[in-house]
Structure 1
Amino acid sequence: MSLESVRAFFVQNAPDIDVIITEKSSATVPLAAEAHGVEPAQIAKTICLCVGEQVMLVVAAGTARLDNRKFKDMFGAKPRMLGAEEVVELTSHPVGGVCPFGLPAPLPVFCDASLRQFDEVVPAAGAINAAVRLSPERLAELTDAKWVDVCQAAPAEAMG
C-alpha cells in the first residue's frame, strides 16, 4: 500500500516527521493548501515525467509550471508527462498523492529551485489525503534529490 510504504519510509529514515492525514482531500494544490493552511506555492507537487526512456520525479512549488526550454537545456529533451496508470505503476502512489517517498524502486528525484523560497513545504505522502511538513533541504536530502531550475518564475501574485 502506498500510504504504508511512505509511513515505513519515514519510520526508517526520518522518525521525527509525522505523516499527516486530513479528512478532506488534498489531491490538488488548492485543496492541499486549504487542508494544511498554507499558500498554494508551499505545496510541493511531485510530477512524474519521462525523458526518452528515463523516468524521473520533479518536485516543485505548487504554483510553479515547468519551463520546457529550461527543462530541455538541463536534460537534453522535452519532458513527457506520464498517464495516471503509469504513475501508479512506477510510484505505487495515486495521482494526487504522488511523492518521492516510499517508492517500490528508486527513481531519480529532482527538486526545483522554486521550493527554496520556503522554510517549510508540504508534499503529498502517498494518498490523496496524506502529507508531510519538512524543509526543502530535508526533502532533497531524504530523497537523494539533485537541485535543478526547470520551472518558470512564479508570477508575483502567486507568491503570496
Structure 2
Amino acid sequence: MTRVRMTVSALEAAHLTDIVLQFTDLLAEAIDGVDDPGVARLVPDGYRDAAEDAAEFRRLTQDDLLDRRRDDAALVLATLQRDGQTRRPQDLDRADAEAEVIVELDAGAVAAWLRTLTAVRLVIATRLGITTEEEQDDDPRFGVYNWLGFRLEGLLQAIED
C-alpha cells in the first residue's frame, strides 16, 4: 500500500479530532470496567450459541482489542495534529476553519484510520439504534454518522487509486 493524502478543512480536522477524543474517553471507561453497549459492539462474541464460551472469549480478548483500538485512535489523533498541537473546533476562527489541511498517511496510519472510523461509526450506530442503512431519518445525529461514512469511503477510494 502506498501513502495516501487526504485534503480536509481545518474545521473538519478539528471536529474529527473531537470525535476521536470522545471515542478514546469511551475506551478508557471501558478498560476501567464500565459496561457500555457501544463498546460491546466493538468486541464481538466469539460464540453465538454458547453464552458461557462467549463470556470467556470476551474476557480473554476484550482488553487486547480495546488496547488496539486505543492505539489506532492515538495514531489518528497524531496525524491530525499540526505543529504538535491538537486542533479543537472552539480554537478556530473563521479563516482558520476554512483553511485546507493535507493529511498524509502511511500504510500503518491508513489501517488505523480505517479501523477507527469504522469503530466510531459502530458506536454511533449502537447509540442511534441503526442496524441497517434504511433506518436513518432526519435526526441531525445521523449527520455525524453519515459524514464519517463519507470520510471512510473517501479513504477507501484513495487506497484504490
Using the size of structure 2 for normalisation, the TM-score is 0.28
Instruction: Report the structure, 1 or 2, having the larger helix content.
Output: 2
